[in-house]
Amino acid sequence: MNPAPLELCFHPNFFDLQNDKSFCPIERNALKNFYDSSKGGEWTESTYWVDPYISHCQWYGIKCNEGTNSTISIELPTNGLSGTLSKSISNLTLLEILDLSDNDIKVSQLALL
């Protein structure tokens, strides 16, 4: 089953399956929150990010485990990120690499928990 278009997962008043992981995958939602909190619209490169019909595994700078589609790497060095690191990043439980070097991203203590 394919997930619901991304924008539906962020409109709980209109979509009653928001908490269904098969329709609204936790990892994709976490990455959308990361994009928003780090001012994704201002990034240098953001190919496919938050595209409602493209898997998060195809978003620029994202690498996934081929078998599970779990995010294992976020590599966005020198990409114009600013703002704060969303604590939803902790929902990426198999994340091995997080490279946000040479950006203006702030990290709060809550994001690290």
| Residue range 60-76, pLDDT digits in tens | 999 999 988 899 999 99
Q: Is the pLDDT of residue 112 over 60?
A: no
Whole-model pTM over 0.85: no
Rounded CA gap, 6 and 4, in Å? 6
| Residues counted in the chain | 113
Q: Is the model's pLDDT at 13 over the cut of 90?
A: no
Burial pattern 52-71, b for ≥16 Cβ within 10 A else e, equals eeeebbebebbebeeeeebb
The residue to which tokens 């994704």 are assigned: 40
Phi and psi at 102, nearest 5°, equal: 60, 40
pLDDT, tens digit, for every residue of 36-54? 999 999 999 999 998 888 8
Looking at per-residue pLDDT, the higher value among 60 and 28 belongs to 60
pLDDT at 110 over 60: no
